Amino acid sequence: MFEDWIHEKLKTEIGILRYNHSIGVMETSIKLAKYYGVNEKSAALAGLLHDCAKSKDKIKLLKMADEFGIILDNVMKNNLELIHGPIGAEIAKRQYNIEDKKILSAIQYHTTGKEDMSILEKIIFIADYIEPNRKFKGVEEARKLAFEDLDESLIYAMDNTIKFVINSGGLIHLDTVKARNYLKIEKSLE
């Protein structure tokens, strides 16, 4: 679907397992884009590149954040798993020549979500959660919801993620709380 160099570079940068996950996210994003009437190529590209910063080591990620002028809040500084979203958006722009701000934003917020997400941002967030290689309790319900009510599927995914993070003693990013609360308020107004 995309030029070979993108696939080859991505495989080299993130490894074959993460690349296979990214292919799963891309394919799921395309299905969701078709279902919700979103540009399929944009969804495919955002899905493919969403984890383009994922396999960098932690020190390199921190260095890249500094080089790119990304200001990390305290939660991101203390949970480096979250910073591959914002750094990935910069890598997509600088190394994969992505200029579309909607695609870059979907990559940036796929780890935390944010208030008032676009449909593309929602699709990439949930596609990452439900892609076919994912196996965990509740994933089938999330997959079903994704094609029934996109917002409800995000609330379900965020609720489960927040519970998991709390149970494991981790930090919850404020963007995730804001995204979930925004969606809940919007659903209550329907």
Using one digit for the tens of pLDDT, what is the confidence trace for 27-46?
Answer: 999 999 999 999 999 999 99
pLDDT (0 to 100) of residue 113:
97
Q: For the chain, which residues score pLDDT lower than 50? A: none
pLDDT (0 to 100) of residue 77:
87
pLDDT (0 to 100) of residue 57:
83
Number of domains in the chain: 1
Q: Considering the entire predicted model, what is its pTM?
A: 0.95
pLDDT (0 to 100) of residue 59:
86
Domain interval for residue 64: 4-188
pLDDT (0 to 100) of residue 1:
65
User: Which CATH number characterizes residue 11's domain?
Assistant: 1.10.3210.10
Closest CA to 92 of 133, 42, 128, 131: 42
Please, are residues 24 and 143 in contact by the beta-carbon 8 Å criterion?
A: no
> In this structure, what is the dihedral angle of CA atoms 86, 40, 127, 83, given to the nearest 10 degrees?
-10
Closest CA to 104 of 72, 130, 70: 70
pLDDT (0 to 100) of residue 21:
97
